[in-house]
Chains A and B, each alone.
Chain A
């Protein structure tokens, strides 16, 4: 049981390049989400999904795309990287029925992205 796996752990992009941050979970969680973490700020929600084929925008969705073709995977795509997207990105998942309960919310170990 690996939990939530994010790849890559580190990435440097040039402005204008595109890339996909991968997130996979093996816990059969319906709910998956992407956050970015910047110094001095709380984690901010980018996009989330409550099941395969269902996605929705969070607080800071501009410049990012997501899709959810399977329960296990929730990739985050940067279409044209900008320096403002330099951040640490976290993927997280939980059972949808436990979001308001006692079940823990499982985070991946993060991807540190630098856009130059």
Chain B
């Protein structure tokens, strides 16, 4: 069964600090990996999309990395802002399927 595991489950950081979220997956054969941001009461919004050949992709202060060999990804948030408080979800798609596999998400709380 294709699985996506995220860690930590939640974290609290001070405004201006950096943090890194982890995603491990067993999805195979791999097509692409996506990171989504979900604000409370809203639907998820795409941050980055990476295919097999990509190691790093940035979107502003968000930088995602992918190691397809070890099936691991990370999302790094630089100089956090209060608006970064949200749940961050890792999503992986198999190349032979139409279904997305979702991680349970990491809840990030940024405090002033």
Contact = CB atoms under 8 A, between A and B. Distances in A.
Contacts of A31: 98
A41 B101 CA distance: 12
Contact of A100 (B9, B89, B91, B93): B93
A40 B104 contact: yes
Contacts of B42: 109-110
A75 interface: no
A94 to B, nearest CB: 10
Interface string A32-76: 000100001111110010100000001100000000000000000
Contacts of A110: 41-43
Nearest to A110: B43
Interface residues of A, number: 26
B44 A107 contact: yes
Given A42-B105, A43-B89, A100-B31, A48 B49 contact: no
Q: Give the interface residue-count category, chain B.
A: 20 to 34
A42 B43 contact: no
A35 to B, nearest CB: 8
Contacts of A45: 99-100
**Chain B interface helix/strand/loop/mixed:** strand
Contacts of A100: 31-32, 93, 95
Contacts of B51: 102
Contacts of A104: 46, 49
Interface string A93-107: 000100111101101
28 contacts: A35-B102, A40-B9, A41-B104, A42-B4, A42-B89, A42-B101, A42-B102, A42-B103, A42-B104, A42-B105, A43-B44, A43-B89, A45-B99, A50-B98, A59-B99, A90-B44, A96-B98, A99-B98, A100-B32, A100-B93, A102-B32, A104-B46, A104-B49, A105-B91, A105-B100, A107-B43, A107-B45, A108-B43
Given A42-B104, A96-B98, A104-B46, 8 more contacts: A4-B43, A31-B98, A43-B44, A50-B98, A59-B99, A90-B44, A101-B32, A102-B49
